[in-house]
């Protein structure tokens, strides 16, 4: 390892970064868990860690999306440096970012509309649309100004601004939060109100609100910016041990700060509250530190054996993460649209077959989810075996 640099925060140069296998591993682990929690056999009766918190609060499932968005921020830094090393200019980088963002957004629309593509019920928000918007903003900002200070200031400003909007701005027709209405009321909050002004109920995931709504994209941007800051930190000339220590400290700080802010501004994934950003970001950083220690630290077997052993399935998911997610969503929509009996679709039929063998509904739901993940993994494994890595 080289000695610490006198200029610890790198500029936007053409130095090609070394690949960190831990990013592929953590991305793959995140996607695998995302597919699992999105495809419970029985969403209502699944084990609590495999369900989102009903409103305020936190479950392991609530960590999935912010971790993936956090990793998008890290990957933005590394992919930009890699393209610069290949001779790309800032103009070509921006055009690439624009094309990729539009592609991600369109794929998101197609996934939500599949298989019927009914415009009257089309959802314009969603996981991929949010990723597309955040990616476009953070990548453009990084190309314009690769320094870390502006990203840190913007992330903090986004969290503070969202707190002010949700805490102090009157919600039209309802009143002022904490005075006329409860703070973070399910429908009487500024985020839900704004989404209802933009779209009718048929376009919103929960009809009166959407967990990936417009206003909550502001704190989601902070999540992605934390990833950018982490990517910049990982590109410094510090030793890997120093980087892991710094990430672990930042992770613990995020968990503590998020927990403290939760006392006055509750952790809420569906509203992507500022306390949620800090708490989930802290956990994401902690898992990244652990992944770096297990995978990339010199002398660790997984890194030396190049995607072998018990971690290999997650590496395979991680190398085609967006494809794995898209395939899982399309597969779920397809089997839900096929009716084997009146009022019973293929998904329900499969789950009932499992339930006949395993009467315990939560366990049967888990088995269905694991089987679904396995099917998706087989699809991605074929691509991996043929060295097909689809870059959007």
| pLDDT surpassing 80 at residue 27 | yes
Tens of pLDDT along 315-348? 999 999 999 999 999 999 999 999 988 889 999 9
Least confident of 171-175, 250-254, 303-307, 358-362: 303-307
CB 114 within 8 A of CB 333: yes
Tens of pLDDT along 95-149? 999 999 999 999 999 998 998 888 888 999 999 999 999 999 999 999 998 999 9
Q: Residue 18 CB: number of other CB atoms within 10 A?
A: 9
Residue 180 φ then ψ, to 5°: -95, -25
CA distance 157 to 140: 18
CA distance 284 to 24: 14
pLDDT at 246: 97
Model pTM score? 0.91
- Helix, strand, or coil (residue 390): coil
β-bridge mates for residue 339, sequence order:
345
CB 23 within 8 A of CB 318: yes
Tens of pLDDT along 51-61? 999 999 999 99
Q: What is the DSSP letter of 12?
A: S
Q: Could you give the residue ranges of the DSSP H alpha helices within the chain?
A: 21-38, 64-85, 90-113, 127-144, 149-168, 190-198, 217-234, 240-261, 274-291, 301-304, 312-319, 321-337, 346-357, 361-385
pLDDT at 6: 37
From residue 349, how far is each of 185, 342, 354 by CA, in Å? 37, 11, 9
| pLDDT surpassing 60 at residue 29 | yes
Tokens representing 301 are: 């077997």
Tens of pLDDT along 233-284? 999 999 999 999 999 999 999 999 999 999 999 999 999 999 999 999 999 9
CB 243 within 8 A of CB 292: yes
From residue 16, how far is each of 79, 178, 345, 353 by CA, in Å? 9, 51, 50, 52
Tell me the average pLDDT across 222-236. Answer: 97
In the chain, pLDDT over 70 holds for what percent of residues?
Answer: 93
Q: What is the mean pLDDT of the chain?
A: 91
Tell me the average pLDDT across 197-223. Answer: 95
List all residues 6 or more positions away from 160 whose beta carbon is below 8 Å from its beta carbon.
274
| pLDDT surpassing 70 at residue 300 | no
| pLDDT surpassing 60 at residue 171 | yes
How far does CA 22 lie from the centroid of its chain? 16
- Helix, strand, or coil (residue 312): helix
List all residues 6 or more positions away from 309 whose beta carbon is below 8 Å from its beta carbon.
301, 302
Residue 237 φ then ψ, to 5°: -90, 15
CA distance 227 to 224: 5
**Tokens 């770096």 label which residue?**
292
From residue 175, how far is each of 104, 171, 183, 215 by CA, in Å? 37, 5, 11, 18
């Amino acid at each position: 390892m080289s000695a610490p640099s006198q200029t610890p925060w790198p500029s936007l140069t053409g130095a090609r970064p070394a690949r960190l296998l831990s990013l592929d591993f953590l991305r793959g682990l995140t996607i695998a868990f995302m597919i699992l929690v999105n495809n419970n056999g029985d969403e209502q009766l699944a084990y609590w860690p495999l369900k989102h918190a009903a409103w305020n609060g936190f479950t392991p499932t609530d960590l999935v999306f912010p971790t993936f968005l956090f990793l998008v921020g890290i990957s933005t830094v590394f992919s930009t440096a890699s393209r610069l090393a290949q001779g790309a200019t800032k103009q070509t980088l921006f055009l690439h970012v624009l094309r990729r963002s539009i592609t991600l957004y369109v794929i998101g629309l197609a996934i939500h509309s599949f298989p019927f593509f009914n415009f009257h019920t089309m959802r314009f928000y969603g996981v991929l649309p949010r990723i597309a918007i955040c990616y476009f903003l953070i990548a453009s900002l990084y190309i314009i100004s690769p320094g870390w200070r502006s990203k840190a200031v913007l992330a903090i400003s986004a969290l503070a601004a969202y707190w002010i909007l949700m805490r102090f701005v009157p919600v039209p027709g309802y009143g002022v939060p904490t005075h006329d209405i409860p703070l973070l009321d399910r429908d009487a909050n500024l985020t839900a109100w704004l989404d209802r002004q933009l779209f009718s109920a048929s376009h919103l995931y929960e009809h009166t609100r959407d967990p990936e709504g417009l206003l909550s994209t502001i704190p989601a941007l902070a999540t992605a910016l934390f990833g950018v800051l982490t990517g910049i930190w990982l590109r410094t000339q510090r030793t890997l041990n120093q980087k892991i220590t710094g990430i672990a400290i930042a992770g613990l700080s995020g968990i503590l700060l998020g927990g403290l802010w939760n006392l006055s501004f509750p952790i809420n994934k569906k509203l992507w509250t500022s306390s949620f950003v800090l708490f989930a970001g802290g956990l994401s950083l902690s898992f990244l530190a652990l992944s770096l220690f297990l995978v990339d630290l010199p002398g660790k077997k997984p890194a030396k054996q190049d995607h072998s052993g018990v971690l290999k399935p997650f590496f395979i998911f991680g190398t085609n993460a967006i494809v794995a997610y898209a395939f899982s969503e399309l597969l779920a929509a397809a089997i839900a649209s096929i009716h084997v009996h009146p009022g019973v679709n293929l998904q329900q039929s499969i789950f009932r077959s499992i339930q006949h063998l395993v009467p315990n509904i939560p366990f049967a739901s888990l088995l269905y989810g694991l089987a679904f993940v396995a099917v998706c993994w087989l699809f991605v494994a074929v691509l991996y075996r043929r060295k097909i890595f689809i870059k959007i």
